Amino acid sequence: MNAAFRSHSRRTRSRGSVLINTAIAMSLVVITLIGTEIGFIYFMKREFQKTADLAALAGAQQIRGGCAAAITAAQLNANGAPGGSSANMPVGLTLAAGEVQCGYWDKDTSFQTPAVTGPANAVRVAFQKASPTLLSFFTGNRLISVSAVAALGAPLAEFSVGSKLITVSGDSTLGRLLKGIGLDLSGTSLVAYDGLAQAKITPGGLLAALGIPVSADIGVGELNTLLAGRSVALGDLLNAIVTVAGQNSLLSSNIALLQAIQAKLGLTNLMVQLGSLADGPRGLFAQIIAPGGSGSGALNVGVSALDLLYTSIGVATSQHAVDAGLNINLLSLAKVTTQVTVIEPPSIAIGGIGATAYNAQVRTFIHVTTDAGLLGSLLAPLLKLDLPIVLDAVTGTGTITDMCTPALQDPVSGKDRVKFQVTSKIANVCVGKIASTDLFSKSTVCSYPTTLKDMELINVLGLLKVTNHLDLGVLPGPDSQLTLAEGETGTTPVNNLQVGTLVADLVTQLTNLLFGGPAPTGTPSSGDLDKITTQIWDNTVSVCSADTSSCRALRLDQARAVINQNSQASGLLTGLLNGLAGLLTSIANPCSGVILLGGGDVNGCKSMIKDTLSKTTDANTGGKVSNALSVLAGLLKPVLDAVGKLVLTPLLTNVLGINLGQIDVNLKSLDCKGLPMLVY
């Protein structure tokens, strides 16, 4: 009995064990099937995502050819060629044109379509499709959504803008560039630096050599802020440039170059700001404009080492005036001193559309005075001239307006090119009182009455006074467009307002300012007339020196001519002075005596001259003006003419070496082959 019961129990337990095992096995099978299906769905999601990624990259690679080309490339990558087998999309599915969008991407605005912030540079592929089934008995929602954005690396250019400099035989390249900003370093060997023109270094390499760390993923805004906030010593920067360029032999030359610059300026602590912000002071690099917001590309652009060297010196010496070496006397009548400085330094531009490079704004201060007795011991107390002239010559900017498009490619070579908009100002000239603190520290000082003020420019005997100012204003050059390939230099057209025109205009307006106002009234004192008379008589000794009737007659005739010439040159009189016509017409006069009988003496000659100078004549305005005032004022006309002939023209052409009115734009490097990259 017990045995039978035990046997039945064992059979019952066996049957229960099989059911449990079977249930467990079936559960495992179901779980496995479900897991397999879920895994397949995830696999398909990865496949869809891969398809979207590759299609977006293919589309971005063609985005410069237009949106239609980008969509076609994305579809071809996803769907494969008709009849082909290279499709990335799973069998039975296709990427539609409406699932591809063109737009603009940067790290600040993300993806926008249509492109507003900038030109189209990115492609987004987004689609939702049902995953194929691995096990058909599983039902439910199998829709999978994927999205990918690929952006094309921004094209970048590096370029510079400068005045057209006159090439002089024997000039080194660096010496000519420095002369253009008023630094004539004659006696300093600069030929060795010419080799740097062929050497290129990257901003990233330069910053590393200066010990300035920059992260690889830095944004362009952060990079601009970093550079604008850092200044380095000029000597350290010069050494870093030649070291990174592999020209260590120039380290010793840098010492001599730095010493020559410091001696010229009388300064030792010269600093260079590395970067620029939109509304701040300019530094070595102009504000970097990098579409896409990434600064890494700009850090890897090749920059001419010679450009870096020259521009660094321009930034360091900005607003530090130097003697231009034209301190001369004009006709023994006036003294002229000249100073030159860079008010706004040149800069190197790196970036895409919108990037702007600046030419150096060079200011020349020309001071014409009649102090220190240069007018002669007799006339110095009678006539005073004080002309502070400010001349800002040849400022220019070049801005990228388009680049790397099929339409810009050179039709012959097929090279990619960049289009620049170039604006220039030939000169800005003003005359008047400017505070010494403003003179070399502000880019605009010819603003009346803010910085430019009236002052006494001329004073003759206290009777003829001119208190005024003169502002010729900006003489703009024509806007120009240049289209350049890498390594090319373009020059704006020659402007009609050349040096001669500018100088003539300045002298004419100065003359009109000094002599075109209301004529003064009054007669100099007897002592003043004696001084002028003696000066005029003594100046006629070049005709002859004998104390004879005929010689005195010749000298009196010369005096008459001088008085007449100076009076007419003054612009105060309409015709010959009263009394001049009959000065030598009488048969007998106290100067030459009676014809054939002799007589007369020097005192008689002077008496006749003094009498003529003391007379008054109607002026243009209808008032009365002393002949003596006209004579003195007339002395200024040749002085002003000499300012143009002996100062302005040599200064612009010989000292600064500037071909007035022309701007050079040099495209140093161009990278249009930005690779597409997934950004989302």
pLDDT in tens, 466-505: 888 888 777 777 789 999 999 999 988 876 655 666 677 7
- Nearest-angstrom CA–CA distance, 238 and 209: 11
469: amino acid identity, one letter? H
Domain layout of the chain by residue ranges? 15-152, 156-516+642-678, 526-622
According to the model, what pLDDT value does residue 140 have?
61
Count of alpha carbons within 13 Å of 409, Cβ hemisphere only?
11
* Residue bearing tokens 């990619």: 416
Q: Read off the pLDDT of residues 521-562 as tens digits, 9 standing for 90 and up.
A: 777 888 888 888 888 888 888 899 998 888 988 898 888 888
Helix/strand/coil for 8: helix
According to the model, what pLDDT value does residue 313 have?
93
CB 445 within 8 A of CB 370: no
According to the model, what pLDDT value does residue 229 have?
92
Mean pLDDT of all residues in 412-421: 93
596 — pLDDT class (breaks 50, 70, 90): very low
According to the model, what pLDDT value does residue 575 have?
46
User: 399 pLDDT exceeds 90?
Assistant: yes
Phi–psi pair at 524, nearest 5 degrees: -60, 160
User: 135 pLDDT exceeds 80?
Assistant: no
According to the model, what pLDDT value does residue 255 have?
93
- Nearest-angstrom CA–CA distance, 54 and 148: 9
DSSP character string of 568-605: HHTTSBSSSPTTTTTTTTSSS-TTT-BTTTB---HHHH
Q: What is the pTM of this model?
A: 0.73
Ranges 97-101, 564-568, 666-670: which has the least confidence = 564-568
User: 358 pLDDT exceeds 60?
Assistant: yes
Question: Mean pLDDT, the chain, as a whole number?
Answer: 81
Task: 547-554: list long-range contacts, CB under 8 Å, 24+ apart.
Answer: 547/601, 547/602, 549/592, 549/593, 549/598, 549/599, 549/600, 550/592, 552/591, 552/592, 552/600, 552/601, 552/602, 552/605, 553/584, 553/591, 553/592
Tokens representing 507? Answer: 């002298």
According to the model, what pLDDT value does residue 250 have?
93
Tokens representing 646? Answer: 């002996």
450 — pLDDT class (breaks 50, 70, 90): very high
| Count of positions (residues) in the chain | 680
Which is higher by pLDDT, 370 or 408?
A: 408
According to the model, what pLDDT value does residue 9 have?
55
Secondary structure (H, E, C), 541-566: HHCCCCCCHHHHHHHHHHHHHHHHHH
433 — pLDDT class (breaks 50, 70, 90): very high
User: 418 pLDDT exceeds 90?
Assistant: yes
Ranges 111-115, 281-285, 286-290: which has the least confidence = 111-115
According to the model, what pLDDT value does residue 621 have?
47
Q: Read off the pLDDT of residues 160-176 as tens digits, 9 standing for 90 and up.
A: 998 887 766 667 888 88
Peptide bond into 449 cis (omega under 30): yes
Mean pLDDT of all residues in 415-442: 89
User: 583 pLDDT exceeds 80?
Assistant: no
Conformation bin of residue 473: beta by default, left when phi > 0, alpha when psi is -120 to 50: left
User: 27 pLDDT exceeds 90?
Assistant: no
Which is higher by pLDDT, 213 or 587?
A: 213
User: 5 pLDDT exceeds 60?
Assistant: no
Q: Read off the pLDDT of residues 345-357 as tens digits, 9 standing for 90 and up.
A: 999 999 988 999 9
